[in-house]
Structure 1
């Protein structure tokens, strides 16, 4: 598709949006959403015909890019055959989607409970863990995001939780490893792993092991900063969960389905959780879908005991048909391998080269097609380029970076003092280099705010 200029149509779309759409996570009168005319592959464009390379993959979900013809065709075919059907029935698209997902999940995570997205997948994983153990508390990490519904947002470890947190959700937060800003005064990955595990075990001991149903972690935290856990950490959490009879839940909503260069990020660490949540990349976000992959032990709990939970649109045929097509496309086109190979050979060296040229880059970290640049005012002190949870004038440096990136033709992922490099997994080498060149320009704008 070729971008066409039609400002009048764009103005009408924008006017209707501003009159009637209530946007998430926003002060409604302070936002100015871009009117999008179309998208294809790794790009989208506005009604003025300006095209942007999408370095965000939407909200890190368009893993196979926009408008992949095979997935579009699968949705159309499913709509013509069976548009919708209640979840209590066996439906071909639902059964096949569950089979393909179970083939790729680690260990014995062979039962799939479908949800409409990632937040409700987390809600149901926590419910399963509490019913399975008969315990109430759930431990989750600071610097995490698990969704916007009531339980999921209380599990979240960033400021989006604050407005909804009345300290009554049965959630206890702890510090996970993050060597660049270590809470444990660690100097090496080995120290960070050992001290983070000691901190977690101490938290378990003081909260009471017999009161804790689950520990939930993003396998690789996403929005919070793409902090790849150091060697041995997730295996250590698995051991603690086994020792104390706690359900281990991995949230793979963002990291799953190829984002890290493996089908699931758990595969990077050789760890199998008891429950694993997914969404986003399962069908590239073409139709809302999420789910919980369930181990044999927890599935057995509900073999003769009804599971008290469900959703009207669980395993919706259109969403599941999109998942089947997406997974098959990813396998046929080597998309997971592309993320792994280009992430290592093009993205990582390109980002590290940018870090050498720009004083505002404090750290480069990531894996696969899942990377973050942490921006700082001063490399020596590691002071963030903007304060934690900055807004308004306090966020001027990141606003300048974002504006420069868009002017250069890329749409950046910006959160607090970071920008993430998370394009679609089937991005080409030339598109990556285009994105790196635009970031080079944008980082020059951020450099103006360094000491």
Structure 2
């Protein structure tokens, strides 16, 4: 398919072969199953499309988690704790879209709520009051910890962090924000300022001014940094933390660390922002990880699983003392699609599933069993595996070398299990399946892991 030029030398729009191509793609979307011939065409078009029109780098990336040319595996459908490629092979999903499938793939209740809303109204007018946004905000006020009250809805995790940073800036004249080493808060310019990895930051510097990074879990360094900032008139406006670092390598905080950070914020008049984009919505064994540690932040950021794995959705929930700066002019920060009816329907249904099926409690129980079985499977492989740690169904397997971790991920993929590394600590692969994963599926994952680690070289 080529792009013909018109008489002026400009490219003509909508040539006949484009229309034919579109019709062929739409016809495939209609199908529940595809033939072997169609699967081969889809695979060819996908690989060539990524190479020529999306980004060829993704093809090289896929080689790090598959082997023997299997980077051409193309996902096509999903359900429960699994997804299927275009050739019909099923994989247990222990990546979970980096944590979006907490209630499972295509959860029926979430899917029904979205389809019901879609059949009535997909997007809102932007001018009239939309009811589901108000109802979802009321639900969030009830289920979030402490006196968190007002909600601003977004489309993604990085947007949630951006909104939180604006709330911080509006709260006081202070501009210093403390984040942690190994932190990941997103890749838009503001949230990237809180993200720690130099590889992501370097091409876009200078980033948002005022950020300082301190070692995660080091309360003495945090305390000293607060004191120094106060002495130099760079008073801390806020501390931005993940209660459990996800992309940093599934790093749990030391006991009492988060409570002590909360006390420091109160002592110095700073806000505490929890980025629970990955830890929220039941992942760690409670609805929110902050509940595990008994700490209430001033601002809570959610996304990923918030839309139930059906619709992209996120939210920032804040205390009234923080949010009230938007009361006078609610248009100081807006988003066209944040809080749209489909996303709100998905989030309401997702919360209902989490509560009705007690998925946070299930995550705690299943995670404990998963962790125990993985550690048992790793016994005798200490020359390859440095540590296996986690909380709930948020588990990290850290290897001594990146190359060993890559080989383990490839091997597990060959055995029908999808895992992936973390963006900050590349030696660690994550286990973040849907919270609906069964014991039998956990046992299959552990069996694949045991087989693979015995075969790879240290």
Superposition TM-score tier, normalisation by shorter sequence: 0.7 to 0.9
Change in 2 beyond 3 A, CA 1:8/1:206:
farther
Candidates 62, 71, 86, aligned match of 2:110: 71
> 257-266 vs 135-144, which deviates more?
135-144
Number of positions where the alignment pairs a residue of Structure 1 with one of Structure 2: 409
Partner of 1:391: none
Candidates 434, 437, 449, aligned match of 2:447: 437
2:51 aligned with 1:27: no
2:256 aligned with 1:216: no
Q: Secondary structure at the match of 1:356?
A: coil
Higher Cα radius of gyration = 2
| Displacement of 1:419 | 1.5
CA distance in 1, matches of 2:99, 2:253: 19
| Displacement of 1:405 | 0.5
Contact 1:252 1:278 in 2 (8 A): yes
Partner of 2:141: 102
Contact 1:283 1:327 in 2 (8 A): no
Contact 1:401 1:445 in 2 (8 A): no
Partner of 1:343: 367
Candidates 396, 401, 405, aligned match of 1:372: 396
Contact 2:277 2:301 in 1 (8 A): yes
2:180 aligned with 1:173: no
Candidates 406, 415, 423, aligned match of 1:408: 415
Q: What pairs with 1:191-340 in structure 2 (closer than 5 Å)?
A: 196-208=218-230, 210-304=234-328, 306=330, 308-340=332-364
Q: Secondary structure at the match of 2:373?
A: helix
Give me the TM-score of the superposition, normalised by structure 1: 0.86
User: What value does the CA root-mean-square deviation take over the aligned residues?
Assistant: 2.0
Change in 2 beyond 3 A, CA 1:33/1:88:
farther
Q: Deviations over 1:266-320 (max 9, x none)?
A: 0001100110100011122311111101112112333335561110112010011
CA distance in 2, matches of 1:64, 1:418: 24
CA distance in 2, matches of 1:418, 1:141: 18
| Displacement of 1:421 | 1.5
CA distance in 1, matches of 2:329, 2:88: 57
Return 5+ residue gaps in structure 2 as ranges. Answer: 1-31, 62-70
Q: Deviations over 1:159-205 (max 9, x none)?
A: 3233223255321111112xxxxxxxxxxxxxxxxxx1110121223
Give me the TM-score of the superposition, normalised by structure 2: 0.84
CA distance in 1, matches of 2:58, 2:290: 38
Q: Deviations over 1:248-274 (max 9, x none)?
A: 100000000000010000000110011
CA distance in 1, matches of 2:121, 2:330: 28
Return 5+ residue gaps in structure 1 as ranges. Answer: 178-195, 377-384, 387-394
Contact 1:87 1:316 in 2 (8 A): no
